[in-house]
Amino acid sequence: MRKTIDVRGWVLAAIFGACCALCPPLQAKDIPGVTAVSPLDHGFSGLYNLDFGGAQEDFTAWQRLHPDDPMGPVSEAAGFLFSEFNRLGVLEAQFYENDAAFFDRPKLTPDPALRNRFQSAIQRAEVLAHAKLAKDPKDRDALFALTLSSGLQADYAALIEKRNLASLHFTKQASASAQNLLAVCHDCYDALLATGFSKYIIGSMSAPVRWILRMGGLPADKQGGIADLQTTAEHGHYLAPFARILLSIAYVREKNRARALELLAGLQREFPGNTLFPREIAHLRSTH
């Protein structure tokens, strides 16, 4: 039992962090029906296409225009982490397909200069977010920035440093911030991604493990988690593509590879610069 809790609990923490590493921020103006394109849109489209240099140029441009917005530095941090994951080769979805592979993962060697830039961007984002919340506890951008900040730190701790306890701590913080955002913005569908996949993973575990994690503040609802991801995939602004990525992982776990392949093929067409999607498609087809 002890090993099962260790492995599966940390899979949850790492996957949630990985979600956030790719998740572009939600802006207060980004409500259903609004289609304005900003440097953040361009930046995260660049990240989905693995154009890290171009994405950082867009994030820098946003920060020049909006120096008090925590979305700028937290997006910069996401770009740093995503590029590091790509360099270290930890972004493949099959990495999360079985618990043993995660438990036996090596501790990676990060780029120390990039780590410092990542931490600096995180700190700037959190300072700006708390300043906004001091003026308005319901500020949507600030709540999402804190959600993303905690998720990014969970990801770095679990997947690079192999600090599992720290990763779980940050995961719980991110989930709490997401719930606060949903409480003030019911149609901020992107925030459902922060809770959907964690609910699905915990809901897939054995009853004793689900009970222990629920006691720690992490909900378990397998079908509800899939429903959250589907809502984001259909109605989300920035995170609809990533919701489809997570749904494809869920379908692989549910032995529905045909549906997973369908989602990944659509993502490959939408983001042709991303070499991860064709590799995942080839992997799934080769192991069918």
Token pair belonging to 5:
């809790």
pLDDT-derived band at 118 (thresholds 50, 70, 90) equals very high
- The CA distances from residue 251 to 57, 65, 151, 245, in Å, are 35, 41, 23, 10
Record the pTM.
Answer: 0.78
- Return all residues near 236 (Cβ < 8 A) that are at least 6 apart: 189, 190, 192, 193, 243
User: Contact at 8 Å (CB) between 201 and 253?
Assistant: no
pLDDT of residue 194: 66
User: What pLDDT is stored for residue 164 in this prediction?
Assistant: 67
User: Which pLDDT does position 261 carry in this prediction?
Assistant: 94
Is the Cβ–Cβ distance between 22 and 79 less than 8 Å? Answer: no
Q: Determine the length of the chain.
A: 288
C-alpha to C-alpha distance for 51 and 53, rounded to whole angstroms: 6
Given the candidates 1.25.40.10, 3.40.109.10, 1.25.40.20, 1.10.3720.10, the CATH classification of the domain at 2-286 is: 1.25.40.10
Per residue in 3-54, pLDDT (tens digit) is 333 333 334 434 444 444 444 444 444 433 344 678 988 998 898 899 999 9
* pLDDT one-digit tens code per residue, 75-110: 999 899 889 888 887 766 444 555 555 556 566 788
User: For residues 205 and 89, what is the distance between their CA atoms, to the nearest angstrom?
Assistant: 27
Record the tokens describing residue 74, joined without a space.
Answer: 């937290």
